Structure 1
């Protein structure tokens, strides 16, 4: 080989190396862009949307799936509370790591290549034939917490002899973000949820009331509010003990939640008193909802102290505000007045014999500059 031929060979080698460097730089930038998006996620919904929806387009994949290890069901419960149920089979929750043992039999390292039909059916259910795939273990503190999977319809996309540096780094970022988002959601829920009954607390209700009042006025839609108070609750505590009283509150909160629409908001307001906010719900519909709650609780028989049963009842006070009839007004006054109206008729139900529903329409009187007024009251009692 003469000098000219050697020079051309070296030039070709340099061009090839430069092209590979450019490709690697482009790939690196592509991964970095996605990783920055991951690190910017502030909630679990944003993170899951990015991983399970946007990643498919960003990396030009045929399918993406995620497995999360949830041995104590706490993540599933959290996702139910956050209404994160719309990802289908691409998001799987597993009690243990056995499901992933075939993917990572020895070490928790990225695996590339083709996948047998059975494994592909479990990892990418409903995705069709998987030509090549990348399986990335999600590890935190040397513990496998999940697995992220990319599928491609190209045999050249993920080959066993390819470098896995970018994918390994991506898996580390995903593991960290998943842990952070789940932890943040748990902390957020603790600040908004009543620890005994696991429904919303008074603080979260007050924030929701403000939002719903604004929405009702903006859309000119009725807003109903009801207080649900346990009858003779002190007698339950005195006769069976406070643990039995706590159990009654837990069962009652759960039963009330079963009767509500998806858009309704339930909170423990204090002691044995619960409050329900029903947006876009006229008085007649709200009365039917309140009666359904009262009747469902009347049928309950809660086991306490072994063979003893408590059969609780509730008194329900309901008030409905119709902004269409009043135009724009001071929403802070409306909020205070609506709660006061519901509370007033709840105590009327107590004085009228308990285990009943009373309702009335609430209006902010034009003359009320610093207080609210009631007018147009109507009542409905259920024995």
Structure 2
């Protein structure tokens, strides 16, 4: 049946209207992507970047789920991210395995939906977040796959495999640049406050942070403990086994100290073979427990030398508590230093509390 001219005109008008609506929708989509790219390039912290990708993206693009995977084989991000104020945290990967399973050798944006990607979608979001379609964006920098960004929808047609990926490809490139930039900025920041040999904070950072902890403890009237830790007979280790072995002992002791502390505690290399630890909101008994835990871990550890051998080492600990009416943090630090001296004088490989703390504890018990 041949359509009339009027019907043909109506059909053309309908098609034109459909094209106009599609063009407007694409323009709005382009505006949203452009705004997101500008915000990605302007972020100033890793937490802001993660919140932007996992929270703001989900809201702005009306997504049902958003996930970020980041490769972290050296634990660099796992040390930096837990303390950050993030609404959602990324998944940190020890190896490339999950990324290889998702992208294979192609490493291009994948649009997956019903009938051709349920397993991949489940892998991307987990079984407890059922999605019907997803966009999986590889994050690539300098030819290396450093992570992936996943957008999920309960609408099975949201991410059709036949759709174009131009906008998503550009977003993944911008996101990868922003992530690398934030990682480099975090490395520089940590380099300025971290001891290069042991991985704990350096003296400069400790001097800054200790004043903050001191003022907070005085203002809110909570206990603050300080530990001075010194490796026993360290000169003999250097003289008998060489400085590379001494450096290895320092590195391993720094790691043992870090593993013994809670989030919010502070450890720093104070100088040479000395370490200092601050324990906010910790009483004398709790601080002594931490000091003894560190001391025993060092005593029992077989320290691996650069030539593959092992040696034993011990440390002495001086412990002091912030006293009521203290005028400065230096008073607490000096008390811990004097307690360390007493531990050395008494035979080493022991924890000694400052005399004022012992007297206070005795008075409280009587």
Q: TM-score higher than 0.5 here? A: yes
Instruction: Quickly say closer, same or farther: Cα 1:159–1:248, change in 2 above 3 A.
Output: same
| CA distance in structure 1 between the aligned counterparts of 2:23 and 2:5, rounded to whole angstroms | 27
Instruction: Quickly say closer, same or farther: Cα 1:104–1:287, change in 2 above 3 A.
Output: closer
Q: CA deviation at 1:188?
A: 1.6
Q: Which moved more, 1:278-287 or 1:223-232?
A: 278-287
Corresponding residue of 1:208: 209
3-state DSSP of counterpart to 2:354: strand
Checking the alignment, whether the CA contact within 8 Å between 1:66 and 1:146 is kept in structure 2 is yes
Corresponding residue of 2:136: 135
3-state DSSP of counterpart to 1:228: strand
| CA distance in structure 1 between the aligned counterparts of 2:308 and 2:34, rounded to whole angstroms | 62
Q: CA deviation at 1:109?
A: 4.2
Aligned ranges for residues 244-259 of structure 1 at < 5 Å?
A: 244-259=245-260
Checking the alignment, whether the CA contact within 8 Å between 1:90 and 1:125 is kept in structure 2 is no
Corresponding residue of 1:224: 225
Matched, 1:152 2:153: yes
Q: Which moved more, 1:168-177 or 1:113-122?
A: 113-122
Instruction: Quickly say closer, same or farther: Cα 1:92–1:6, change in 2 above 3 A.
Output: same
Checking the alignment, whether the CA contact within 8 Å between 1:63 and 1:127 is kept in structure 2 is no
Matched, 1:358 2:352: yes
| CA distance in structure 1 between the aligned counterparts of 2:17 and 2:45, rounded to whole angstroms | 45
Checking the alignment, whether the CA contact within 8 Å between 1:64 and 1:90 is kept in structure 2 is no
3-state DSSP of counterpart to 1:22: helix
Q: CA deviation at 1:195?
A: 1.4
Corresponding residue of 1:336: 330
| CA distance in structure 2 between the aligned counterparts of 1:20 and 1:65, rounded to whole angstroms | 28
CA deviation profile, 1:171-193 (whole Å, cap 9, x unmatched): 11111111111111122222221
3-state DSSP of counterpart to 1:226: strand
3-state DSSP of counterpart to 1:192: coil
Q: CA deviation at 1:14?
A: 4.4
Corresponding residue of 1:196: 197
Checking the alignment, whether the CA contact within 8 Å between 1:224 and 1:320 is kept in structure 2 is yes
Checking the alignment, whether the CA contact within 8 Å between 1:110 and 1:167 is kept in structure 2 is no
| CA distance in structure 2 between the aligned counterparts of 1:260 and 1:128, rounded to whole angstroms | 34
Q: Which of 66, 86, 89 is equivalent to 2:68?
A: 66
Corresponding residue of 2:343: 349
Q: CA deviation at 1:270?
A: 0.7
Instruction: Quickly say closer, same or farther: Cα 1:347–1:45, change in 2 above 3 A.
Output: same
| CA distance in structure 1 between the aligned counterparts of 2:308 and 2:101, rounded to whole angstroms | 46
Q: Which of 30, 33, 38 is equivalent to 1:28?
A: 30
Checking the alignment, whether the CA contact within 8 Å between 1:140 and 1:175 is kept in structure 2 is yes
Instruction: Quickly say closer, same or farther: Cα 1:349–1:142, change in 2 above 3 A.
Output: closer
Q: CA deviation at 1:320?
A: 1.1
| CA distance in structure 2 between the aligned counterparts of 1:287 and 1:98, rounded to whole angstroms | 43
Corresponding residue of 1:271: 272
Q: CA deviation at 1:289?
A: 2.1
| CA distance in structure 1 between the aligned counterparts of 2:89 and 2:49, rounded to whole angstroms | 17
Corresponding residue of 2:17: 15
Corresponding residue of 1:237: 238
| CA distance in structure 1 between the aligned counterparts of 2:43 and 2:346, rounded to whole angstroms | 53
Q: Which moved more, 1:345-354 or 1:180-189?
A: 345-354
- TM-score, normalising length from structure 2? 0.84
Matched, 1:56 2:58: yes
Gaps of 5+ in 2: none
Instruction: Quickly say closer, same or farther: Cα 1:119–1:355, change in 2 above 3 A.
Output: same
| CA distance in structure 1 between the aligned counterparts of 2:195 and 2:276, rounded to whole angstroms | 13
Instruction: Quickly say closer, same or farther: Cα 1:289–1:219, change in 2 above 3 A.
Output: same
3-state DSSP of counterpart to 2:155: coil
Instruction: Quickly say closer, same or farther: Cα 1:175–1:101, change in 2 above 3 A.
Output: same
3-state DSSP of counterpart to 1:312: coil
State the aligned residue count: 357
Instruction: Quickly say closer, same or farther: Cα 1:300–1:55, change in 2 above 3 A.
Output: same
Instruction: Quickly say closer, same or farther: Cα 1:36–1:248, change in 2 above 3 A.
Output: same
- TM-score, normalising length from structure 1? 0.81
